[in-house]
Amino acid sequence: MSGGARNHVIDVARALSVLVVVVFHTLLYRIRLTDAGLTLEPWAAPTWLYPLTWVLMIMPLFFVAGGFAHTLTVDRMHREGTSAGHYLASRGRRLIGPLVVFVTFCAIGFSLAAWAGFLDAASELSRLLMQLLWFITTYLGIVVVAPGAVRLHDRFGVAPMLVLAVLAAAVDAWSFAVDNDELRYLNLMFVWPLVHQFGIAYQRGWWRRGPVWVAWASIAAGAAGVALLVFGFGYPPTSVGFADLPIANIQPPTLAMASLALAQCGVLGLVERSGVLASLPPALEKGLGLLNAVMVSVYLWHIPIIGLTGGALALLALAAPVAAPALLSPATLAVASTLVVAAAVPLLGRLELRMIPPLGPRQDTTLAVLAFGMLALGTLLVWLTGTVVHPGRPGSTLGVLAIWVGAWTMGRAADRSQAMTRD
């Protein structure tokens, strides 16, 4: 597809990605009822499942889809002559609703617990839950550089990808050489921007137009790259971490994620070429659009919902021990959690929608830059420190306040005429 038309292949890929993320996270822990009571155990996947983790690893598709969407936005900016403030406000305001509602709910709950005397426990649990904000933090950074990334691709083609790949490989080599996994967080600046470049290239026609052998070659090269990194250079054998293998290739990321993304782009190209998703029934297309619209909400809320659903099933198992094996099975948790997510997210979406500021006819570029910076800083601090608002936790307190102030400022930046009227 070209122009501003929806690309069903990209939309379906994102929708399937969300479903896989939700189901996968229900498998990370096992709830068991024993003679000693309920136990919660991290899941250590059998080694025969390791190859399947690469097939089902879909996080790269989020960044491919982001590159695709940003390219369309940047092209529209050039056609319409819109400002950088318009770009930042239009992209940033969409995250405000889901981000502010989620962070505020968590801040209220964990802060009340902290002020009630459970500061350490509330802080640690909050910090662990906010680990999922690595994605939002990285995505905000990519949004800022996306216009430049599109220009680089249009001018230099594959060269920026090669530079990013070399830098990612260098970070991996350094990390493995000194046995320090934390160094690989530097790859947030290289691996995911590289995958984002793939998305730009996909929109420009790579893989879905031209010789079909390019798509097949990308699949082969991407799969061979993952195999070479794992078996030849000692990269972790799974894409994600488990109880007995907590640090793998996704968080923090390695070059293997980019290699996997290359293969996935080839698959997307073959699917699009086949025409199987060229047209969809109106009802399915509408549902797909709605799911893509609430994708950030699903991502943010699915882990708390899984926890609450697991807790409810555990209580039912205590009340009816005979049914405990069925109630506590991974399949039951996966189905129940997915249903609760499907029921809760539309309700939360109504609240989130009210938090999204309107995009007026004029934007304040200075305020948009300031607001975006505040949102990025706040999200980074919340990711690293949690959402406890308390004098004993200045990092998380500053992070929550930065998100609130950034959201308020973005509202004024998104509609300059209303801001000037209020002033």
Per-residue DSSP letters for 80-107?
A: HT--HHHHHHHHHHHHHHHHHHHHHHHH
pLDDT of residue 5: 59
Handedness of CA 198, 71, 413, 350 (dihedral sign): negative
The CA–CA distances, whole Å, from 250 to 36, 56, 83, 255, 348 equal: 35, 12, 35, 10, 28
**What is the block-wise mean pLDDT of the chain (423 residues), using blocks of 10 residues?**
64 83 85 81 87 90 92 91 86 89 96 96 94 92 94 96 98 95 94 97 94 96 97 94 86 95 96 87 83 86 92 92 90 92 89 86 89 94 96 96 95 73 49
Q: Give how far Cα 295 sits from Cα of 142, 226, 291, Å.
A: 18, 28, 6
Judge if pTM exceeds 0.85: yes
CB atoms within 10 A of CB 362: 16
DSSP E strands in 25-162: the ranges are 29-34, 37-42
Q: CA Rg, the chain, in Å?
A: 22
Distances (CA, A) of 144 to 90, 132, 371, 375: 12, 20, 12, 12
pLDDT (0 to 100) of residue 173 = 96
- Are 381 and 119 in contact by the 8 Å Cβ rule? The answer is no
Q: Which helix (H) or strand (E) holds 371?
A: helix 365-385
pLDDT score at 419: 52
* pLDDT given for residue 418 in this prediction: 59
